[in-house]
Structure 1
């Protein structure tokens, strides 16, 4: 066999991978195993079900190309891409699997995409900037949208199939990664956006207990409004009707058989219709995780994330958690945001769906929220910075801040909090948002780091239908090196402190809060980022309570 190919024997059979040369900041050889199956294809009777362990195969299976993504239209409206048979992962290792000198720490990356899209493929998450850090890198694809998160709140379709996929991918990794030179006892789960919320969910689920040693949550929390469906059965019925179901909404068996019979692409196209209408409240991207009902089979969670976190019933491991300085940029991708007149006249729209405000108080609370962010000015194009801050807080910052508090107070393991403040001059995310706001040139000039802006210093992600990312400028290179070294150091030891930081990153404490400024200047900053705004929301929730 050519030295460009290498074979590894896993529990399920022999895989043939290939030798590649990294195209990151350094050019080093590594070995890639792409499109590796980690569960049976979730098709036919396995649609909506928890993933089933893979059966052995005979002979040598090529692992030379990415598996396809789950069905989705992310970044390609109206064009369904991907297939149901999507449960594959990629493994990248710096060592020849037959010449392993020592087992390397494992970084297990959960892809983002708001539970409606994304993949773990090599174009979405190229390993080049990590592969020279002496780690093994694993990147799975899981089910998204209705096919991954539909729930009838019964044992036929209990929900959270996509999260259970992640657990199965972790189980496969723990069983097999030693064959690739990875240490099964030193796995760090990490993710950005929806991947970050998933990592937090994995901390909360007993199904994932013992499968990892550390966690990195970047810009996403299980407490985010978009990361939880409080009425999954209602959402399922809405989708069924949009897809042409004419039976009874109370007939669960009929609903189940109907959903089983529908083409996969129909789910994607019709779920978009349902959520384009639901997007009037701006707080959901699509189908999302839910609390499952007790019953037969594996249940991911049967209590709310808030309940689990408040009671400390989660896996206690070292955690890095934080967000970018302007997370709210992402809401500018929603067409409704450009209707400033509508937003100004309907201020109740700014009330989060998990804030339990009585009907007779909604106008008052809506005005309070607008007052904090906009002062006496109307909601308008001129106040777009305030709008970005408002939605950033509601969708990301408040939930992540709460999760940071719970994780640090209820665990004896360190929790490292950060705010990411360095933006690429040629930001892919800003260009993407600008492309969805034609004529709105002020988007390009907005200050701060957008949602996903941190990932641009870690991955040179190629987005479908968009130009390739810009090469790193010479003054960006040291920062990229520092970012990936910090993450890989944490993956190795559970402590991010290393020479590249140049000082001690102090763990978060509610009694003495401080955060790491992850930007041009690495430094600890006392207090909490946007303290006044966070305090405002804490008081509102204390006064009115949580829906979930």
Structure 2
């Protein structure tokens, strides 16, 4: 082994002693990229596909000290071999229920996974995955997003960490505090992929960006943004869209002001943007986390700060920027940009689960809908542009779609209403608008299995499936280490969706080629005249007119503005 690899050799020897396996160089692989050499480890899937995992590769300089709240800079080169065989760092998590010992401000890293059996001149299509988590939690770590199933399909996978919460999505609305840093982190990571992915056997001209929930909304913002043009050729949005009410902040300056005051309780008067920037930039990270969580909880009970529905808003999400700023990343009105085709026109696959909000606390949902029963104007999502005098009548018509009484009197009505407002309606609208300019494939995931199941209250008549449940059919994790332990129907659904998503990533058409698991089934593209979508259940069924989309469209058209931002 070369002298420059001495430290890596020592580490591998030590690991061999600890884990009780003989050192075998074929179990590890070195890859040279633009910044240096990285060391990956061999992993084997349940189907005996061998692949190499390169974890925690830096794509940017650590955004710490003076670089906190600044746009990320490309990573600096390193000497020797960088050990990238473990996920040891994730970005700070800004939620009271999430704690991880790996939390670190030095977190701008990504993971690359590629099969071990491809020839040197064979370049494979790439999936670049952006995790969800309400813009505040989660990561791209392998324990959450194991790439094993995509490895069986010979697709190179990249998962990315990016700044969350106030470190990634805080704004003073005047350009003093750099805005949408989490999105800009992803943009830098996509540029890294263009420079380096061929070294891992990936084809930079065949990159598909994908994400779930807030990650899907972020994918949509890359589709909208010209700064990401040419960095990908297709997009997958699962349970999210920039048209979703939760995807765009309201009162961002006020949140930044309140957070800065909480960090300096002696400050009673309003702070300037420069003062806010200084306070948050120099704050102790644990105190910043604590005060952010407290403020987010307090704001969730304030309808006047909602961007979505009562107690169902994301204080941390994308922020609209000044269109005259040449460095702006999120500009214009989301709905109108999509309507006018002012986007990166790439084939897109998107959809929702059949009962998205069922995964959330049902008693909390009933509290939310009881607030709407007291003030029916709140039934119209806050980000929807509608005159105040029209909101009451629009709210009445929307709630009547679910109950002849009060929303809170029926669990089923509450769950259906909340899910349609926040998820299915804006996603369906996104699909229909974009179908004027690109190929679009819309789905509803309705299969109620064990493989992705979350614990939640059973509600009679609910069609299930809750938010995030489809992820278990795409991503390997510790609870699904052996697929043989699951029902045959679960495995069949897993094989079907993996085949369709893989065909889309490879060929831009989810059912372009006949296959053993799909036969000659064809998933039709979205078209305005019949608005077809695929219902993924025990059977694959093509249906028309998703959920209550046409009812919402009628109400929004009747009472809303001529132009919209979210929908």
Instruction: Map 1:332-371 onto structure 2 (within 5 A).
Output: 332=361, 335=364, 337-338=366-367, 341-371=370-400
- Contact 2:440–2:525 under 8 Å retained in 1: yes
Instruction: Map 1:366-405 onto structure 2 (within 5 A).
Output: 366-375=395-404, 377-380=405-408, 383-405=410-432
Question: Could you say which residue in structure 1 is the equivalent of 2:12?
Answer: none
Question: Could you say which residue in structure 2 is the equivalent of 1:516?
Answer: 534
Question: Could you say which residue in structure 2 is the equivalent of 1:504?
Answer: 522
Whole-angstrom distance in 2 between the partners of 1:268 and 1:335: 24
Cα shift at 1:386: 1.0
Cα shift at 1:287: 0.4
Whole-angstrom distance in 1 between the partners of 2:77 and 2:173: 33
Task: Report the RMSD for the aligned CA atoms in angstroms.
Answer: 2.7
Cα 1:70–1:79 shift into 2, 3 Å: closer
- Contact 1:247–1:254 under 8 Å retained in 2: no
Whole-angstrom distance in 2 between the partners of 1:247 and 1:267: 18
Whole-angstrom distance in 1 between the partners of 2:401 and 2:228: 40
Q: Within the alignment, does 1:284 sit opposite 2:313 as a pair?
A: yes
Question: Could you say which residue in structure 1 is the equivalent of 2:38?
Answer: 15
Question: Could you say which residue in structure 2 is the equivalent of 1:298?
Answer: 327
Question: Could you say which residue in structure 2 is the equivalent of 1:252?
Answer: 273
Whole-angstrom distance in 2 between the partners of 1:315 and 1:187: 14
Any idea what the Cα deviations from partners look like across 1:459-506, whole Å, max 9, x if unmatched? 24459xx99999532332122112112111111111111323331111
Any idea what the Cα deviations from partners look like across 1:185-242, whole Å, max 9, x if unmatched? 1001111111111111110111111000111111100011111013321221122223
Question: Could you say which residue in structure 1 is the equivalent of 2:507?
Answer: 493
Question: Could you say which residue in structure 2 is the equivalent of 1:437?
Answer: none
Tell me the SS of whatever aligns to 1:320: strand
Whole-angstrom distance in 2 between the partners of 1:534 and 1:135: 38
Between 302-311 and 202-211, report the one with greater CA deviation: 302-311
Whole-angstrom distance in 2 between the partners of 1:156 and 1:470: 54
Segments of structure 2 that go 5 or more residues without pairing to the other structure are: 2-24, 302-309
Question: Could you say which residue in structure 2 is the equivalent of 1:148?
Answer: 168
Instruction: Map 1:447-462 onto structure 2 (within 5 A).
Output: 447-461=463-477
Question: Could you say which residue in structure 1 is the equivalent of 2:87?
Answer: 66
Tell me the SS of whatever aligns to 2:126: strand
**TM-score for the superposition, normalised by structure 1:** 0.90
- Contact 1:111–1:191 under 8 Å retained in 2: yes
Question: Could you say which residue in structure 1 is the equivalent of 2:445?
Answer: 420
- Contact 1:103–1:183 under 8 Å retained in 2: yes
- Contact 1:189–1:214 under 8 Å retained in 2: yes
Q: Within the alignment, does 1:240 sit opposite 2:260 as a pair?
A: yes
Cα 1:338–1:278 shift into 2, 3 Å: same
Whole-angstrom distance in 2 between the partners of 1:335 and 1:528: 26
Q: Within the alignment, does 1:319 sit opposite 2:330 as a pair?
A: no
Q: Within the alignment, does 1:41 sit opposite 2:62 as a pair?
A: yes
Cα 1:183–1:474 shift into 2, 3 Å: same
Tell me the SS of whatever aligns to 1:162: helix
- Contact 1:331–1:388 under 8 Å retained in 2: no
Question: Could you say which residue in structure 2 is the equivalent of 1:480?
Answer: 494
- Contact 1:155–1:295 under 8 Å retained in 2: no
Tell me the SS of whatever aligns to 2:435: helix
Tell me the SS of whatever aligns to 2:407: coil
Any idea what the Cα deviations from partners look like across 1:136-183, whole Å, max 9, x if unmatched? 111011111111100112343131000111111111111100000010
Whole-angstrom distance in 2 between the partners of 1:164 and 1:326: 32
Question: Quick one: which of 222, 225, 231 aligns to 1:205?
Answer: 225
Question: Quick one: which of 172, 175, 178 aligns to 2:195?
Answer: 175
Whole-angstrom distance in 2 between the partners of 1:428 and 1:12: 41
Whole-angstrom distance in 2 between the partners of 1:259 and 1:185: 39
Cα 1:145–1:333 shift into 2, 3 Å: farther
Cα 1:533–1:423 shift into 2, 3 Å: farther
Q: How many residues align?
A: 530
Cα shift at 1:268: 2.4
Segments of structure 1 that go 5 or more residues without pairing to the other structure are: 435-440
- Contact 1:70–1:83 under 8 Å retained in 2: yes
Any idea what the Cα deviations from partners look like across 1:230-260, whole Å, max 9, x if unmatched? 3321221122223335165351211111111
Cα shift at 1:3: 1.4
Question: Could you say which residue in structure 1 is the equivalent of 2:543?
Answer: 525
Tell me the SS of whatever aligns to 2:488: coil
- Contact 1:420–1:518 under 8 Å retained in 2: yes
Cα shift at 1:519: 2.0
- Contact 1:72–1:81 under 8 Å retained in 2: no
Cα 1:537–1:340 shift into 2, 3 Å: closer
Question: Could you say which residue in structure 1 is the equivalent of 2:557?
Answer: 539
- Contact 2:31–2:39 under 8 Å retained in 1: yes
Between 344-353 and 196-205, report the one with greater CA deviation: 344-353
Cα shift at 1:458: 1.0
Cα shift at 1:540: 4.8
Cα shift at 1:374: 1.2
